[in-house]
Structure 1
Amino acid sequence: MNKFNKTFKYIIYFLLVFMPFREVIGIYDNVYLKFIPDILIIFMFFGYLFKNKFKLKFKVYDYFYILFLLGGFLSGIINNVSFIAILLHMRTYVTMYFLFYILRNNEYEIQFYKNCLKILMIALSVLTIIGIGEYITSKIYFFPYQWFIGIKYTSNLSRMYTLLHSPNTFGYYAVLVVSLFTYLYKDFKNKKWIFLLVLIFLGIILTQSRSSQVALVLILFYWSFGLFKKHDYKTLINIFLILLLTFGTYKLCNYANRAFSNSDAYKSFFEENTDRFDDNENVIIDSGSRWNIAENNDVFYSMKNGRLFNINLGFKIWKTKPLFGTGFATYGTAGSSVVIPKLYKQYNLSDDFYSDNQYIAIFVETGLFGTLMFAMFILTLIYEYRKDSYRLMIIFILMLVCLFYNVLELAVLMTLFYLILTMNNKNEKTGKGVKLKMKKNDTNERKYIVFCQEHYNPLGIIRSLGECGIKPIVIIKKGKYQLASKSKYIGKLHIVDTIDDGYEVLMKEYGKEKLKPFIYTSDDTITSYLDLKYDELKDKFIFYNAGKKGEVTKYMNKENIIKLAEKCGLNTIKTWKLTSKKIPDDMEYPCLTKAIISTKDNWKADSIVCNNEKELKSALNKIDSKEILVQKYIKKKNEFAVNGFSINKGKDVFYAFSLNYLSINDNAFGNYMIIKNFDNKELEKKLNKIFECIKFEGICEVEFLVDKNDELYFLEVNLRNSTWGYSSTVAGMNLPILWSEAMLSHKLPKDKLKKFKPFKAMAEDTDYYDRVKTKKVSLIKWIFQALSCKCLYITNLRDMKPVYSKIDNIIKNKIKK
């Protein structure tokens, strides 16, 4: 992720924390602090334009929105409206649209939106808890007195305003948060969500905001319908439980409100302030009774000094300037509260007049032209999202709430609206599964299983899936200590003693799914194990394979894969296969011994450099393997590797990245490297032949030795996720996700192949022991090198439990010594 996107993410986090409390901050602190969000958004917008060389990407609805703003602005200028008032009116219209523009032109991982949701849930919970206190005490406590004296009717004393200073604003804010939750956690299981949703639903009821309550019902209906289609009755029961608990807690709050209204504190306070209210009655209204319009005289009050009055008067004023209107900041909007419009005196309107209806405000201020442009903006926005029922619902709810409130002027609401509208709309990955183009009889839900041993290699797979909102099932063979199994992204964990035990869990627990689960492996041993079980697995799972039993294992044999590489036109190192201790007469020195199969014997220890026949004989005596490869030893300048995946029986290959090492180890690969795009077309053709010959389907890596003349010599193919696979996720190409998409669509995701700036990566644990402990590099220099890396294979600030487990293991080992 580039610096701009990272900065923008943190600004969004700040806005989500700051905006709900902006109104109350403006009372008790410098009022200009309220402009911080606007300044930040403007700064980021022009930063985005500068980064993209001021190349604008307009959509059809953008032009209508610009014409709408231009019409209102020019109309205000023509009608001699205060320039400051016009700017203050347009402030939120413009800055929020800047925010929308940046969001829609950038892709963010699903974890970003989950982080946003967590922040929103915390802020909303704080607002609701304070609001409950405000509701129970009829605003005597937990509510700024400056706001209290602005309330005209006693009926509003029992409506929960919260620190957002409006029941409707809070209600719609809460509804948007709930809608975001239903999208990200369609089938939630954590009990904490039940408590939080009860609190939020209670808050919406206590606002007595009828438009917000209708919107909540629509969201619940949409959510429940989706769950019913998936037969997720457990979550439906949870929703029913939430509604029951909400109703119960509402009754308790209502009882407490009535009890407090009989207290001396309430009576004393009301007597002191009774002259402030227009209706002059000591009324406490039950939240549900606001729906009884006739009983509450709502129509009477609305015609006298409410929305119906505003609408009637609005049409009257509009007739005086029907084409372009009276101009922005002239009819009960944000700017008119700062600089009082001249027409207020003409029509006997109070200085704090508020139109309370977005449509009539637009109609009066911008006339037929502006209203038509705004209508076209909404219609083209609907057309843009015509195939997305969720976002259409969000737009419809916005249109509904605009009937009762000037929503477009409220930054706290429009921030959420645009955040939801643009949420991963290019490449969505939600819940358990990934949104893919599948067959009509398929669904978007599959299980994702990582079958592995404790190592940072599978940790990369788990994190790659987790960062896309997928919490994988992990079957892991117990190691000396926990590393990958400590990741927070794991949905369900099975720790087993042996691979056989793991296989038993795999078949028993997940072998009868309607949709084949994906299996990801990260080491040769388990990959080979599953390959040899191909006939048992092929109809139950999607896993790394070569079309028949034992074929993957066959090409784990270095003798076989080297012969195939030669056949496909790659340079290979001269090799001898020894089945006894006898040394061939044509042996060349120096040479290097190697295990033929990495899944057998002590394959790493079998790698020995021999400078002469005596050293070779000594090495052969130490090696227990019955068969051994001996290769001519070439002094390497570096190593080179290519990572990607293949599908369609190896006919189509996706190459995500290549790498070279920044630290060289004569006897093994390095752990400090540079990640870059792979762009060698000639080599790509030869590699394609290898995968097509093997008929391999899965994530893979090809390794080469680089000699002093920069000549590439083939070393091996890893027919499973490589140790460095997580680099691809950091580069913006999530191999586990892309492979699973491609396996179902049978097409390579060519549009996902990204050009990226080369970056550094490090396996920090191993590299520390290889270079710092051996004094190849100083600790200080190594720390700076680690800090310069964009990708670390163990340390991840978003997933620190594996790191803590590693540190704990180091400490325990030190104590034992």
Structure 2
Amino acid sequence: MEFIRKYGLIVSVALLIFSLLFPGTVVGLAVTLLIVGMLVLNPKQGILFLIVYFPVRPFLIEVNDSIKFVGDLLIILLFIKCLPYYFKNKGEWKQGIVFIAGFLAFCAIGAASALLTGVSIGAIVFQLRAFLITFLLIFVVRSLDITKKDVISFLWVTILMAVLLSVHGIIEKVSLRTMFLPKSWENMHLAETNRMRIYGLIGNPNVLATYLSIAFIFTLYLKRIVQNKQVLITAFSVLIFGAFILTYSRGTIIALGVGLVVYLFLSRDWKIFKPLLLSLVLSLPLVYYPVVQLTTYMENHSEKHQSDKELREKNGDFSQRMNEAFNKDTIKKSTAWGRLYVVNRGFEIFKEHPVIGTGFGTYGDSASLAYSSPIYERYKIPENLYSDNQFIQVIVQTGAMGVVTFAVFILGMVGSLWKRRKENAAAIALIAILAGGFAAGMFYNIFEDKTFTLYYYILIGFVLNSMVARNGTMKR
């Protein structure tokens, strides 16, 4: 047990690497059982493993599909393992009961409506899994005895993973997507507007941007509590922010800006400006511009990319991409077949199903991509539609009742965090992150994003943890 407590994460990561070197069903299943069996005995190491596993899960399952359930299985078993804590401490159920009830009611409405619409049981379970699996971590983390050392380990593992993903993303860009990627990803056709972006081991520039923004925020906090590694942490923050810019994720940049404004308004923590501006200023000359210039050099000397020179020049750089976000041409395209089309068509469907909507798996969610939707033919909607807007998805799929329960979920979280703001300094930061996530929901299905929900629910559990409140682990 002592060995697992100390080295469970290292052994688990080594097993993951082994499953990549020797991909196969037998190896994958054996690795899954070994990792889960080992880490369920030590929940803290299990949490650290999850923040390593989920950010690179798309890459892992692309190489070895048989390890795709290791994260889900571990979370479910950790949840079952923590239940005796709540039976012994029945008062703990009251913490966060409003937002928990709101979220479960929202899920129930979406599932019931889907059954009435004719969505398959498999698709409903698939979507419930997308919403609920990381939600269980709230209960797991709340039951743990968390120390300052655990907090520092959590921050370091996240930051080191972000550094790995940042370095990989830079290599991906400079090598013109020819190094350290699965062949299927190398051969993936990308629109010219997306070719400039880094996708990373996450396989999605917007999800990567979300992850890097969280990790960047963690570097700012780590600098406050770890005094002897200031230069190293600053270097990491510059690298991570530079890679964040290279994702060219406009929605995430807006979300990060909203989150920072809300945090400053609520906390009056003006000291954050110095490390924030330092990272921003240094990341441009030390990371962003050198990578862009080197990539341009590689493209100019690549036969494959020389024919695309005019398209590259037309597509421009980061500043041009940001400027194009709200120009007339972009809005026209969006209205015809983009995000605005999704919103407009969504409201048309809502008018016909205003009470409980059409149900999960019917409009632009993960389940409708995997299983198709029974309403697409009727409304002449393309099969590959993904809403990229959390709110229109909620409106269409769960109707007015779903909107109300989802609002209870969001506002209930804010209320629970606000009550804990004097006991735990992370509470205000989490309200700010939720505000940023709310803004991101205008551009992405943010509550289906395992990267965002993984961290948010872990941190919610941390703030609601009664033991943390008593020992003041996160007090200022």
- 1:193 matched residue in structure 2: 233
Residues in 2 aligned to 1:163 and 1:191: alpha-carbon distance in whole angstroms: 27
The answer as to whether partners of 1:198 and 1:243 remain within 8 angstroms in 2 is yes
1:325 maps onto 2:357 in alignment: yes
So what's the TM-score if we normalise by structure 1? Answer: 0.48
Q: Paired residue for 1:40? A: 74
CA–CA distance in structure 1, aligned partners of residues 52 and 225 of structure 2: 26
In the TM superposition, residue 17 of structure 1 has moved relative to its aligned partner by 1.3
- Structure 1 residue matching 2:429: 3-state secondary structure: helix
The residue that corresponds to 1:403 in the other structure is 442
Aligned with 1:336 (options 352, 361, 368):
368
Q: 1:53 to 1:118 in 2, by over 3 A?
A: same
Q: What is the deviation of 1:208?
A: 1.0
Indicate which of 382, 385, 396 corresponds to 1:353.
385
| CA distance in structure 1 between the partners assigned to 2:263 and 2:415 by the alignment | 22
- Compared with structure 1, are the counterparts of its residues 5 and 224 closer, same or farther at alpha carbon in structure 2 (3 Å cutoff)? farther
Q: For the residues of structure 1 that align with 2:266 and 2:415, how far apart are their CA atoms?
A: 22
How far apart are residue 373 of structure 1 and its match?
0.5
Instruction: Output the CA distance in 2 between the equivalents of 1:229 and 1:75.
Output: 45
Q: 2:254 is matched with which residue?
A: 214
Pairing 1:378–2:410 present: yes
Give 2:342's aligned residue: 310
Could you tell me the percent identity over the aligned residues? 26
CA offset digits 1:459-484 (Å, max 9, x no partner): xxxxxxxxxxxxxxxxxxxxxxxxxx
Could you tell me which amino acid in structure 2 is paired with residue 115 of structure 1? S
Cα distance in 2, alignment partners of residues 395 and 128 from structure 1:
24
Distance 1:340 1:93 in 2: 18
Q: TM-score, normalised by structure 2?
A: 0.80
Establish whether residue 12 from structure 1 lines up as the match of residue 47 from structure 2.
yes
Render the CA deviation track for 1:15-40: whole Å, top value 9, x for unaligned. 1111111101121212x422211111
The answer to whether the aligner puts 1:204 opposite 2:238 as a matched pair is no
Task: Spell out the pairing of 1:719-730 with structure 2 (5 A cutoff).
Answer: none
- Classify 1:281/1:367 alpha carbon distance in 2 versus 1 (closer, same or farther; 3 Å): farther
Q: Quote the residue 1:289 is aligned against.
A: 320
Is 1:300 aligned to 2:335, yes or no? Answer: no
In the alignment, what sits opposite 1:72? 110
Q: State the Cα distance separating 1:45 from its structure 2 match.
A: 1.1
Give, in angstroms, the shift of residue 48 of structure 1. Answer: 1.7
Cα 1:187–1:223 change in 2 (3 A) is farther
Cα distance in 2 for residues equivalent to 1:435 and 1:188: 14
Aligned positions of 1:365-514 closer than 5 A: 365-386=397-418, 387=421, 388-425=427-464, 426=466, 444=476
Q: State the Cα distance separating 1:171 from its structure 2 match.
A: 1.0
Flag the 1:79–1:239 CA change in 2: closer, same or farther, 3 A.
closer
Tell me which amino acid in the other structure corresponds to 1:408. F
Cα distance, 1:237–1:311 mapped onto 2, change above 3 Å? closer
Gaps of 5+ in 2: 6-38, 422-426
Output one character per residue of 1:235-269: Cα deviation in whole Å (capped at 9) or x when no partner: 85544332221011211122223223322333278
Q: Which has the higher strand share?
A: 1
1:106: which partner in 2?
144
CA distance in 2, matches of 1:401, 1:287: 19
Q: Is the contact between residue 146 and residue 468 of structure 2 (CA under 8 Å) also seen in structure 1? A: no
Answer whether contact 2:131 2:448 (CA < 8 A) is retained.
yes
Which residue is equivalent to 2:24? none
Residue 158 (str. 1) matches residue 196 (str. 2): yes
After superposition, residues 726-741 of structure 1 pair within 5 angstroms as: none
User: How far, CA to CA, are the matches of 1:53 and 1:125 in structure 2?
Assistant: 41
- Residue 127 to residue 202, structure 1, CA distance change in 2 (3 Å): same
| Residues 141 and 461 in structure 2, CA contact (< 8 A), matched pair in contact too | yes
Cα separation, 2, equivalents of 1:361 and 1:187: 40
Distance 1:389 1:48, change over 3 A: closer
Whether contact under 8 Å (2:220, 2:275) holds in the other structure is: no
Structure-2 residue corresponding to 1:516 = none
CA distance in 2, matches of 1:320, 1:149: 42
Instruction: Give the RMSD, CA atoms, in angstroms.
Output: 3.2
**Cα distance change, pair 218–367 in 1 and its aligned pair in 2 (3 A):** closer
Measured after TM superposition, the shift of residue 410 of structure 1 is 2.1
Structure 1 distance, partners of 2:463, 2:371, is 40
What are the Cα deviations for residues 614-644 of structure 1, in whole angstroms up to 9, with x where unaligned?
A: xxxxxxxxxxxxxxxxxxxxxxxxxxxxxxx
Structure 1 residues 258 and 297: alpha-carbon distance in aligned structure 2, compared to 1, 3 A threshold? farther
User: Quick check: 1:38–1:95 contact (8 Å CA) kept in 2?
Assistant: yes
Which of structures 1 and 2 has the bigger CA Rg? 1
Between the aligned partners of 2:383 and 2:187, the Cα distance in structure 1 is 15
User: Counterpart in 2 of 1:125?
Assistant: 163
* Counterpart amino acid of residue 322 in structure 2: W
Distance in 2 (CA, whole Å) between partners of 1:151 and 1:305 is: 19
1:414: Cα distance to partner?
Answer: 0.8
The structural deviation recorded for 1:324 is: 0.9
Query: How many angstroms apart in 1 are the aligned matches of 2:337 and 2:392?
Result: 15
Cα displacement string for residues 563-599 of structure 1 (whole angstroms, at most 9, x for unaligned residues): xxxxxxxxxxxxxxxxxxxxxxxxxxxxxxxxxxxxx
Shift of 1:41: 0.8
With over 3 angstroms needed to count, the CA separation of the structure-2 counterparts of 1:13 and 1:229, relative to structure 1, is: closer
- In the TM superposition, 1:545-560 aligns within 5 A as none
Note closer, same or farther for the CA distance 1:349–1:434 as it changes in structure 2 (3 Å cut): closer
Distance 1:434 1:339 in 2: 45
Give 1:44's aligned amino acid.
Answer: L
The alpha carbon displacement at 1:382 in A equals: 0.9
The 1:268–1:221 alpha-carbon spacing in structure 2 relative to 1, beyond 3 Å, is same
Q: 1:92 is aligned with what amino acid?
A: A
Q: Which runs of 5+ in 1 are unaligned?
A: 275-279, 437-443, 445-817
When residues 182 and 218 of structure 1 are mapped into structure 2, their CA distance, relative to the original with a 3 A threshold, is farther
Between the aligned partners of 2:133 and 2:220, the Cα distance in structure 1 is 27
Equivalent residue number for residue 92 of structure 1: 130
Instruction: Report the CA distance shift for 1:285/1:104 in structure 2 as closer, same or farther (over 3 A).
Output: farther
Contact residue 255 and residue 436 of structure 2 kept, 8 A:
yes
Distance 1:326 1:269, change over 3 A: farther
The range that moved more, 237-246 or 300-309, is: 237-246
Cα gap change, 1:377/1:229 in structure 2, threshold over 3 Å: closer, same or farther?
Answer: closer
Change (3 A) 1:229 1:397: closer
Give the secondary-structure state (helix, strand or coil) at the position aligned to 1:146.
helix
Paired residue type of 2:445 = N
| Matched-pair contact (CA < 8 Å) for 1:140–1:269 | no
- The answer (yes or no) to whether the contact 1:323–1:368 under 8 Å persists in 2 is yes
Distance 2:165 2:293 in 1: 21
Q: Give me the whole-angstrom Cα distance separating, in 2, the residues matched to 1:61 and 1:283.
A: 47
How much does 1:184 deviate?
4.1
Corresponding letter in the other structure for 2:139 = Y
Aligned residue in 1 for 2:64: 29
- Note closer, same or farther for the CA distance 1:333–1:435 as it changes in structure 2 (3 Å cut): closer
Deviation per CA, 1:430-485, whole angstroms, max 9, x where unpaired? xxx9766xxxxxxx5xxxxxxxxxxxxxxxxxxxxxxxxxxxxxxxxxxxxxxxxx
Q: Give, in whole Å, the separation in 2 of the partners of 1:269 and 1:102.
A: 54
Distance 1:197 1:225, change over 3 A: farther
Runs of 4+ that moved beyond 6 A: 1-6, 222-228, 433-436
